[in-house]
């Protein structure tokens, strides 16, 4: 099955399979991984300042023989740059690291803000959280589309409650919502809501991730055996069959090729069985550490303080 693209609400096309780069340089091989991936046919590269590897990605992109207009590069505004006056400078730093003139999508990485002095630290306390209205940050991002520095804008880790309040206030609607999706974190209601509002869904951690062991699930392994393929191919094929963009990470050339090219046609029964998995686990949940952020993934328990 050829890798397809999804038309975003600004008319551009987002490739259905991208290269994830979170923790992508743990083995020091990211420059070569990006070059190998692009040479194989990857065009969608998912980045973020928090991943602390954009300079390596930029170096790789300079070395590959692919025109910029054929690439689809995504990056994100992190929490400490949510104040409107900081947004453009944050983007300029991203573009400098990636050695690019523009991004295809700029996302808001999380729907909460921290004080600028926190930076990318992971060990801050609740006192570092600050109430910058989401729409203030979003309007600053909309202005970057007007300036031609980004082709369109999106969100990440946004729940339905936030989106329902946000969308009527947007001049430019989010083109995509990137969220954790895998067989143990299926998010069907949120996926349906996004599709109904012309927001393309992107799945990060599509194979489970470092805290969630989807690849050892007995059902996934049994279906993989039936198709003579890997559990990873089953998980990715299940997500792609749901109309979701996936951004798996790997530095292994064989797995890179499998992730991009080897779509498995699952039967309706197999799709249903995976969809009925009862385990619910996620890698990323700020609400575990801060009750003040419980609202991000538990909107039934707490309400977003500012939109």
Active site residue 51: yes
> Would strands 5-7 and 113-114 be described as parallel, antiparallel, or unpaired?
unpaired
Q: Which residues pair with 202 in a beta bridge?
A: 178, 245
Q: Positive or negative CA dihedral for 199, 204, 207, 208?
A: negative
- Is residue 169 within 8 A of residue 135, CB to CB? The reply is yes
The token pair that represents 19 in the structure block: 């290269």
CA angle 27, 29, 31 (to 5 degrees): 150
From CA 10, how far away is CA 175, in angstroms rounded?
7
- Residue 37 CB contacts under 8 Å (≥ 6 apart), including other chains: 19, 45, 256, 260
From CA 142, how far away is CA 130, in angstroms rounded?
22
CA angle 179, 137, 169 (to 5 degrees): 85
From CA 162, how far away is CA 167, in angstroms rounded?
9
From CA 144, how far away is CA 146, in angstroms rounded?
5
Q: Which residues pair with 77 in a beta bridge?
A: 108
Which of 219, 247, 210 is CA-nearest to residue 75?
A: 247
- Residue 213 CB contacts under 8 Å (≥ 6 apart), including other chains: none
Three-state SS for 216-239 is HCHHHHHHHHHHCCCHHHHHHHHH
Catalytic site residue from 42, 51, 78, 184: 51
Q: Which residues are catalytic?
A: 51
């Amino acid at each position: 099955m050829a890798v397809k693209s999804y038309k975003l609400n600004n008319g551009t096309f987002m490739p259905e399979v991208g290269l994830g780069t979170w923790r992508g340089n743990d083995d020091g091989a990211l420059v070569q991984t990006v070059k190998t991936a692009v040479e194989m046919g990857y065009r969608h590269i998912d980045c973020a300042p928090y991943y602390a590897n954009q300079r390596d990605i930029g170096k790789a992109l300079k070395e590959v023989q692919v025109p910029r207009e054929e690439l689809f590069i995504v990056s994100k505004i992190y929490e400490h740059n949510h104040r409107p006056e900081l947004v453009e400078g944050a983007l300029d730093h991203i573009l400098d690291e990636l050695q690019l003139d523009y991004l295809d999508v700029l996302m808001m990485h999380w729907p909460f803000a921290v004080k600028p002095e926190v930076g990318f630290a992971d060990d801050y306390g609740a006192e570092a959280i600050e109430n910058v209205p989401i729409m203030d940050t979003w309007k600053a991002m909309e202005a970057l589309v007007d300036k031609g520095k980004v082709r369109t804008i999106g969100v990440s880790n946004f729940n339905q409650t936030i989106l329902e309040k946000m969308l009527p206030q947007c001049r430019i609607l989010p083109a995509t919502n990137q969220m954790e999706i895998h067989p143990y974190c299926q998010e069907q209601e949120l996926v349906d809501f996004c599709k109904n509002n012309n927001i393309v869904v992107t799945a990060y951690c599509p194979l489970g991730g470092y805290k969630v062991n989807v690849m050892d699930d007995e059902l996934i392994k049994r279906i993989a055996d039936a198709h003579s393929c890997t559990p990873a191919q089953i998980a990715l094929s299940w997500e792609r069959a749901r109309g979701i963009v996936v951004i798996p990470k790997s530095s292994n050339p064989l797995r890179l090729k499998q992730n991009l090219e080897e779509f498995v046609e699952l039967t309706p029964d197999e799709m249903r069985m995976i969809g009925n998995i009862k385990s619910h686990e996620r890698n990323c949940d700020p609400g575990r550490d801060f009750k003040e952020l419980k609202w991000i993934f538990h909107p039934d328990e707490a309400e977003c303080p500012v939109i």
